[in-house]
Structure 1
């Protein structure tokens, strides 16, 4: 019984207060005397703490509810802001990538105007990772007039030549392939040799006469001999030159390619050789 009273004590107190109020109003209506006034004062004195507590409870409940509603609204707004930030970051990344691609294509198009020949821009869609990037796959083929043995370049210099062609793609052999051979000359001294790839990604220049004038830093360009690569395309820069002391008739020359094959994304295929040497041949070596 005691537990039941404790459990419903608030309801009992409120019910008692309401009952007393009803009784008070009845007495006041009937007698209007001092008894009713005294009972009224006693009732007001007894229920005032309870009413103040109820008022305070209602205020606290209202405040907590408003804070809860505000908190849910803040969480929702926070989620929306986070999603908006994520989308803006994605768009910013896409814009940066578009800007970089536009810059690369602009350099290729400027090169197309300089070489005064017919050329087609292609995107690199695959690399031969099993052979140290000795070949790449581009996204154009016979549908764009591509044929075997066409030269492939970038604004930096020579990339290689087309070795396989399908309707929609082509494979390009890089100049770093040990099986590749490119007729080259030292731009400063005009000494002629043949450039071939190596396992470490550098270029070896072979068949340079032992007494040819070659120095570290010399610029190497295509010689135009062989009928595949037009004359004047930058190939690389001499990084090591030595003259063997044995009976060898040729120098040992190693060069670093101008083209960065690890970051190759777009290239240009020369579909029609120029009538004369390319304008690259008239450029001075970079300091």
Structure 2
């Protein structure tokens, strides 16, 4: 087995490390000497050697710039994420503002509806659409606690919607004019013809029992007539249209696709006249005018009986 040669690398490495340590210690001590001569020597050394190491500082400068750019990019990313969150919040606020604006416009439209000043109203919000394929109705968030009475008329910001049919403590149900059970007497203007608005589960109810159809034209205004005390009179219902089958129907003035707020009109029964003496003449007080002559035969018989009595 061959023997290894003498290892010269280890002693040389130890010597070099020792010399490097001594040089570093000497440099450190020299750099720490507080002397004008040492200060001048340090300045000369910096001026002599540091400019020559600019090539060595280029990678360090680039790495520093890269680190600064990465930090700037990280800050920009965080700002971008924050702006995205703020934009989402602003979008939500915008949607809420648009909804509030629409609700405000509908409430203002309800206030602008011209009705009889004697009629007061209670405004309610539509909770849900409880209509089915065979029944058209909605629910309101007002009921007995708000003084709602069964049978009262309801309107949106444009026209008549229906009537109250079923009242609970806090809610009430509104049967729409399109419901098959709805029957409303109406007047067509300007002809003044009367008709019966009948719901048939379609968006265009039928005008039945219409007299003088030749005087009615598509586009005529239709209002409630007040007959039978079902609804107050002169409430806007819609306009006359002619269907494809030739029948006259009604285009509703109310926006049935966006029923959010309804106005319940307080209706009062017609006043009964208790004292009719001032309006109806009194009972038969006898014949007024000249007396008619009596029957001559009866008169002769009476005279004859009187004469016979006097002779006796």
| TM-score relative to the length of structure 1 | 0.72
Alignment equivalent of 1:198, drawn from 181, 200, 206: 200
Aligned-partner Cα distance in 2 for 1:259–1:234: 9
Partner residue in 2 for 1:253: 248
The aligned runs of 1:83-102 (5 Å cut-off) are: 83-102=85-104
Aligned-partner Cα distance in 2 for 1:62–1:110: 70
Partner residue in 2 for 1:19: 20
Aligned-partner Cα distance in 2 for 1:206–1:158: 18
Q: Decide whether the 8 Å contact of 2:136 with 2:201 is kept in 1.
A: no
SS at match of 1:176: coil
Tell me: CA distance 1:207–1:19, structure 2 relative to 1, closer, same or farther (3 Å). same
Q: Decide whether the 8 Å contact of 1:214 with 1:241 is kept in 2.
A: no
| Bigger radius of gyration | 2
Q: Decide whether the 8 Å contact of 1:175 with 1:197 is kept in 2.
A: yes
Partner residue in 1 for 2:266: 271
Q: Give CA deviations for 1:86-112 in whole Å, capped at 9, x if unaligned.
A: 212221221222122112112212337
SS at match of 1:226: helix
Tell me: CA distance 1:231–1:95, structure 2 relative to 1, closer, same or farther (3 Å). same
The aligned runs of 1:110-129 (5 Å cut-off) are: 110-111=112-113, 115-129=117-131
Unaligned 5+ residue runs, structure 2? 1-12, 31-48, 272-312
Tell me: CA distance 1:91–1:63, structure 2 relative to 1, closer, same or farther (3 Å). same
Q: What's the CA shift for 1:199?
A: 3.0
Aligned-partner Cα distance in 2 for 1:255–1:271: 25
Tell me: CA distance 1:208–1:72, structure 2 relative to 1, closer, same or farther (3 Å). same
SS at match of 2:262: strand
SS at match of 2:215: coil
The aligned runs of 1:70-219 (5 Å cut-off) are: 70-111=72-113, 115-131=117-133, 134-209=136-211, 213-219=215-221
Tell me: CA distance 1:221–1:178, structure 2 relative to 1, closer, same or farther (3 Å). same
Alignment equivalent of 1:65, drawn from 67, 86, 93: 67
Unaligned 5+ residue runs, structure 1? 1-11, 30-46, 245-251, 277-287
| TM-score relative to the length of structure 2 | 0.67
Aligned-partner Cα distance in 2 for 1:66–1:129: 65
Q: Give CA deviations for 1:227-284 in whole Å, capped at 9, x if unaligned.
A: 120000111211118999xxxxxxx4212111121111111001234989xxxxxxxx
Q: Decide whether the 8 Å contact of 1:115 with 1:274 is kept in 2.
A: no
Question: How much is the aligned-residue C-alpha RMSD, in angstroms?
Answer: 3.5
Aligned-partner Cα distance in 1 for 2:211–2:61: 100
Aligned-partner Cα distance in 2 for 1:114–1:224: 12
The aligned runs of 1:4-43 (5 Å cut-off) are: 19=20, 22=23
SS at match of 1:163: strand
Aligned-partner Cα distance in 1 for 2:244–2:131: 32
Q: Decide whether the 8 Å contact of 1:127 with 1:136 is kept in 2.
A: yes
